[in-house]
């Protein structure tokens, strides 16, 4: 009789152990997993602002995020998405390398029935976003940053007649563009200069250079070359489509012992320091922190089968783009302290 009781007790204990273990495993399995990438860890903004906020915010939201570096190669990103799908992540958060290759990523997600949130680089293919009901975009209005930067430059140009070095009433400028074909690079290039034209101010482009990596080294090399070129003495304004390239241009100007009006986009911490030191005249806040938060908020809701903006402060645009657009803000010598980390 004692043996029967003892055996029964062991069975109960074993069952309790298995049940407890099962709960633990189930709990772990229930943690939502986001498969994400950054198009290139070499990008100052993406790796320095968005990636850290993804990691921090994922902890706050109680989800797991796996972030890989696509190293500027769309083919590598395609393979990385395949791996995420094989690992059965709950949702994808993808930073396209090539905005014109979105349909391939969307097709992969659709076939696997995995929700997809694209961020920072918007699909440029017609109909790509409409091809899958579980894909959304988080980013900005690309033109807005160029418009804001242009308005700052126009106001400052009017307030500083001495900037017109040859007194011809024309703005002679050079422009560091960034990645060819990138919606932000193209829109900023157009809108920043258009602001002068709209204000009735004549402009002359002395040089424009693209860089797929938006890099500081590229900004330095091109600015140094321009300063020693035949038109070097004629440069009156330096327009940079991101802060990373602006930092390089500043380094080249300092090395040459010159100072010119110079503007960027992103409002990285280093840019705020350059504004404080009088080496940069303005930048535009590209709010990577809120882009990262919005991306994860939408991804989490999508993975749970909820309306993607439910319980959040984000709003989808009403133009059918299935997008959340985080606004840009001007950063100037008058307000840069408001954007410095406390």
Residue 18 lies in a domain: no
As for how many domains the chain has, the answer is: 2
**Region 91-105 average pLDDT:** 96
Same structural domain for residues 157 and 281? Answer: yes
**Region 122-150 average pLDDT:** 95
| pLDDT given for residue 231 in this prediction | 98
| pLDDT given for residue 47 in this prediction | 93
In this structure, of 14-18, 176-180, 188-192, 231-235, the range with the lowest mean pLDDT score is 14-18
In this structure, of 12-16, 101-105, 147-151, 218-222, the range with the lowest mean pLDDT score is 12-16
Residue 184 lies in a domain: yes
**Region 222-240 average pLDDT:** 98
Q: What are the E-state strand segments in 135-225?
A: 135-139, 170-178, 202-210
CA distance 79 to 269: 34
CA distance 174 to 204: 9
Residue 5 lies in a domain: no
| pLDDT given for residue 268 in this prediction | 94
| pLDDT given for residue 244 in this prediction | 96
CA distance 270 to 251: 13
Same structural domain for residues 69 and 151? Answer: no
**Region 240-244 average pLDDT:** 97
pLDDT tens by residue, 33-89: 999 999 999 998 999 999 999 999 999 999 999 999 999 999 999 999 999 999 999
Same structural domain for residues 100 and 204? Answer: no
Same structural domain for residues 149 and 257? Answer: yes
The last residue of a domain, from among 262, 285, 308: 285
What Rg value do the Cα atoms of the chain yield, rounded?
25
In this structure, of 6-10, 44-48, 81-85, 189-193, the range with the lowest mean pLDDT score is 6-10
pLDDT interval class at 342 (50, 70, 90): low
Residue 341 lies in a domain: no
The last residue of a domain, from among 285, 309, 336: 285
Q: Is the confidence at residue 191, as pLDDT, over 70?
A: yes
Q: Is the confidence at residue 227, as pLDDT, over 60?
A: yes
Same structural domain for residues 116 and 179? Answer: no
Which string of b and e fits 176-199 if b means at least 16 CB within 10 Å?
bbbbeebbbbbbbbebbbebbeee
The mean predicted confidence, pLDDT, of the chain is 91
Residue 339 lies in a domain: no
Same structural domain for residues 68 and 162? Answer: no
Same structural domain for residues 124 and 158? Answer: no
| pLDDT given for residue 181 in this prediction | 87
Host H or E run for residue 78 = helix 74-86
Residue 246 lies in a domain: yes
Same structural domain for residues 159 and 92? Answer: no
> Apex CA 215: angle with CA 263 and CA 276, to 5°?
35
Of 141, 178, 144, 152, residue with least CA distance to 46:
178
Q: Is the confidence at residue 303, as pLDDT, over 60?
A: yes
Residue 13 lies in a domain: no
List the beta bridge partners of residue 210: 178
| pLDDT given for residue 29 in this prediction | 53
| pLDDT given for residue 2 in this prediction | 40
pLDDT interval class at 19 (50, 70, 90): very low
Output the domain CATH number for residue 57. Answer: 3.40.50.2300
| pLDDT given for residue 319 in this prediction | 87
Residue 16 lies in a domain: no
Structural domain containing residue 118: 31-140+288-327
């Amino acid at each position: 009789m004692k043996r029967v009781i003892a055996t029964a007790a062991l069975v109960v204990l074993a069952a309790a152990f298995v049940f407890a273990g099962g709960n633990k495993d189930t709990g772990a399995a229930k943690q939502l997993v986001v498969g994400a990438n950054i198009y290139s860890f070499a990008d100052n903004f993406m790796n320095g602002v968005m990636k850290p906020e993804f990691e921090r915010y994922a902890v706050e939201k109680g989800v797991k995020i796996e972030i890989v570096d696509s190293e500027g190669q769309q083919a590598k990103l395609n393979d990385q998405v395949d791996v995420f799908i094989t690992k059965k992540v709950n949702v994808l958060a993808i930073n396209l390398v090539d905005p014109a290759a979105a349909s391939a990523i969307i097709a992969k997600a659709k076939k696997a029935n995995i929700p997809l949130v694209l961020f920072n680089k918007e699909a440029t293919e017609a109909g790509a976003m409409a091809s899958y009901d579980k894909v959304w975009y988080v980013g900005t209005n690309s033109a807005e940053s160029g418009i804001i930067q242009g308005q700052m430059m126009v106001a400052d140009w009017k307030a500083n007649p001495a900037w017109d070095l040859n007194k011809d009433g024309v703005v002679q400028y050079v422009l560091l563009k960034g990645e060819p074909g990138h919606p932000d690079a193209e829109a900023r290039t157009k809108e920043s200069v258009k602001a002068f034209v709209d204000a009735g101010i004549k402009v002359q482009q002395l040089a424009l250079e693209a860089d797929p990596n938006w890099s500081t080294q590229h900004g330095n090399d091109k600015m140094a070359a321009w300063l020693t070129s035949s038109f070097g003495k004629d440069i009156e304004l330096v327009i940079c489509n991101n802060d990373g390239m602006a930092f390089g241009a500043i380094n080249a100007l300092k090395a040459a012992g010159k100072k010119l009006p110079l503007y960027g986009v992103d409002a990285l911490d280093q840019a705020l320091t350059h504004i404080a030191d009088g080496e940069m005249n303005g930048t535009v806040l590209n709010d990577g922190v809120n882009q990262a938060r919005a991306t994860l908020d939408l991804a989490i809701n999508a993975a749970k089968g909820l309306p993607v903006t439910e319980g959040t402060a984000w709003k989808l645009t009403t133009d059918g783009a299935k997008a959340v657009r985080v606004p840009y803000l001007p950063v100037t010598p008058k307000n840069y302290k408001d954007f410095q980390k406390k």
